[in-house]
Amino acid sequence: MKLESLCAWEIGELVNSKQISPTQVVTYFLDRIEKINKKVNAFVYVKADYALEKARELEERLSRGEYCGEFAGVPFGLKDFLPNKKGWQSSHGGVACLVATDQGNSVFCEAMEKAGGIAIGKTNAPAYGFRGTTDNLMYGPTSTPFNPKYNSGGSSGGSAAAVSAGLVPISEGGDAGGSIRIPAGFCNLFGFKAGVGTIPSVCRPDAWSATHPLCFNGALTKCVKDAAILLNYMSYEDVRDPFSLPKKHNFAKEFEINPWSARQSDSSNQHAPQSLSLQGLTLQNRPLQGISPQSLTLQDRPPKETATQKYQPLKIAFTQDFGIFEVEDQVRATVQKAARRFSDLGCIVEEYKFDFKQTAFEIASQWCKGITIDCALELNHLKEEGIDLLGDHSKDFPEEFIYWKSIVDRLGIEDLYRFNLTRTEILDQFEKAFADYDLIISPVSCIAAIENRNDKNTKGPDFINGKKVEPLIGWTQTFLANFPGYPAASIPAGFSKEGVPIGLQLIAPRHEDLRLLQAARLYEEAFDWKKFYPDL
C-alpha cells in the first residue's frame, strides 16, 4: 500500500479501523521526508520525536476502543510563517532576525489535532508571505514536484510541495492574495480559501489587522473531501474576530450533495439547460451525473417522475482575464478545456466580460500596499522600543519588502481612500456578475511556470506578452477575491509544456463556501487529478 497516494481521510479510516497503526503511518512519512525533501525543499525542519510520541499516545486511545477523528494518525505540516504551534519555532518566512518561539496555535493546527492529526514539521514560505512564489534568504526556493526546475508557487509553497510530493497528506496554508490557490495550481492540488466570517481570524492588538486585504487560514489537500472535513472543524464563531459568523453547515456531509440536478424549477426558469459557446466551440449541456442518491437528503432527492424533471443547473461566468490581465496562450487553452468539463457535467458556462476601470498593475500595487501595512507597523513599533530590525538586519529582508515598506511609511489619508476605492470597484464588479451567475471561474495564474532563481529571491515576471506586470502578485488572478473576501479555490486544470500543473480558480459569492465545495466535488468526479502525481 502506498500511503502517499491516499487522501488524509482515507488514512484516518485505516487507522481508526486498526488496519494500520499511527506509528506506522508517521514512520512511513518521516522516511519519505528523509528521502525526498531535498528534491523539493518543502520542509524547513521536522519534529520526528514529537510526532512519534503523539502517534504512540493515539495508539493507546485506539486500544481503548476510542474513535480518534477523521484524520486519526495523519501527519500534517505547518507553514513556517506566523506562529501556529505553541513551543515550536517560526521565522516569518525565512527572516533570520524574526525567528521566535510560537506563543499559540493556529486555527488549522487546533482543527487538525481535534481531528486526530499529528504535527510533523514546518514548511517553507517567503518572507512575510509577501509574494506568489516560495523562496527566502534562509532556506532558498521550493520546487513543484512535477519539475524541480520550477517554483512551487507561494506563499504556502512549502506546504503545497509537501502534499504534492507525498511527504504529508495535508498541510497548512494561509491566503491573503492567493497564497493557498497559487501553489495549489502549480502543484496539482485542491486549494480552498474560505470566505470572510467562515473561519475565525483572531488578531491582537488590532482585531482588524487581517482585513486589508482579507487574510485566511486554510490548507492544501489532494481532494475536496479533506478540505470539507477540515472546514467542518475550522468553521465556528469566535467573538474575538469582528467578522466571525456562526457555523451554518455540516461541510463534511453537505459538500457531497448536488443541489443543481436535484433542484426543480418552473418552465419559465431562465437558467434552463442550453448550449454553451466558448470561442466558437459549441457543446450541448447534459444533466449532472455520478452523484450517489445516498448523498442526498430526502427533500433533496429528485422525484420519481424523472420524465418531467426540469433542471436548474449551475450557472458559471467564465473569464480568461477579468478584462485586465495578460495571459499566456497555453494557460488560456488549458483553462478553456477545464471550463468545458463543467459544461460536460450539465452546467451553463458563459463567457463574461468584466469592466474594471483600473489596470491589473494598479490593483496589484494596491494589494502590495495593503499587505505591507501590518508588517510595517510591527517593525515601526519595535523601532520605537529601541529594536531597529530593518536598520540593524536589513540583509535579512528581501529588497522588494524594503521597497514597499518605504512606500507604506509615506501613505496619507488620500492613499487609504484610494485603496478602499479599489476594493469597492472589485466588490461592485463581482456583485454584478453574481447577480446572474452562481460561480465565477478563471485561471489561477496568468503564466504556466516560474523558474527558480539561484539568488534566493525568486519572483514572478516583469512582463507577460510584452506588457508590464507587477512581479510579486500581479501575474496571478487570485488577489482580486481577497479584497472583498469571497470564498475561492484552485482545482487542477491540466499541464503546461514545462510539465507544471495549471490551476483553475473558482470564486463563489459571499458566505457560499458550501456552494464552492459542491461545485469542486462535481468537477473532481469528472477529472480525477490524483492519478497524475509524480513518483518520486
What are φ and ψ of residue 476, in 5° steps? -110, 170
Task: Answer for the pair 96, 137: CB distance below 8 angstroms, yes or no.
Answer: yes
Longest CA span, the chain: 76
Q: Which residues contact 443 (CB under 8 A, 6 or more apart)?
A: 320, 321, 327, 331, 332, 335, 477, 493, 502, 503, 504, 505
Reading the block at residue 26, the C-alpha cell is: 508517521
Buried b (16+ CB within 10 A) or exposed e, 17-31: eeebbbbbbbbbbbe
The answer to whether the pTM exceeds 0.85 is yes
CA gap 313, 519 in Å, rounded = 11
Q: Does 5 sit behind a cis peptide bond, omega within 30 degrees of 0 on the bond before it?
A: no
Print the SS3 string covering 110-179: HHHHHCCCEEEEEECCCHHHCCCCCCCCCCCCCECCCCCCEECCCCCHHHHHHHHCCCCCEEEEEECCCC
What angle in degrees, to the nearest 10, is found between the helix axes of 224-234 and 8-16?
A: 80
Residue 340: its H or E element: helix 329-344
Residue 232: CA count within 13 A, CB half-sphere: 18
Print the SS3 string covering 421-459: HHHHHHHHHHHHHHCCCCEEEEECECCCCCECCCCCCCC
Q: Which residues pair with 275 in a beta bridge?
A: 284
Reading the block at residue 10, the C-alpha cell is: 482515507
Reading the block at residue 420, the C-alpha cell is: 478602499
Residue for grid cell 497516494? 5
Q: Which residues contact 76 (CB under 8 A, 6 or more apart)?
A: 8, 112, 117, 118, 119, 120, 168, 169, 170, 171, 172
pLDDT digit of tens for each residue in the chain (536 aa)?
699 999 999 999 999 999 999 999 999 999 999 999 999 999 999 999 999 999 999 999 999 999 999 999 999 999 999 999 999 999 999 999 999 999 999 999 999 999 999 999 999 999 999 999 999 999 999 999 999 999 999 999 999 999 999 999 999 999 999 999 999 999 999 999 999 999 999 999 999 999 989 999 999 999 999 999 999 999 999 999 999 999 999 999 999 999 997 543 333 334 333 333 343 333 333 333 333 323 333 233 334 444 444 568 999 999 999 999 999 999 999 999 999 999 999 999 999 999 999 999 999 999 999 999 999 999 999 999 999 999 999 999 999 999 999 999 999 999 999 999 999 999 999 999 999 999 999 999 999 999 999 999 999 999 999 999 999 999 999 999 999 999 999 999 999 999 999 999 999 999 999 999 999 999 999 999 999 999 98
Q: Which amino acid is at 303?
A: P
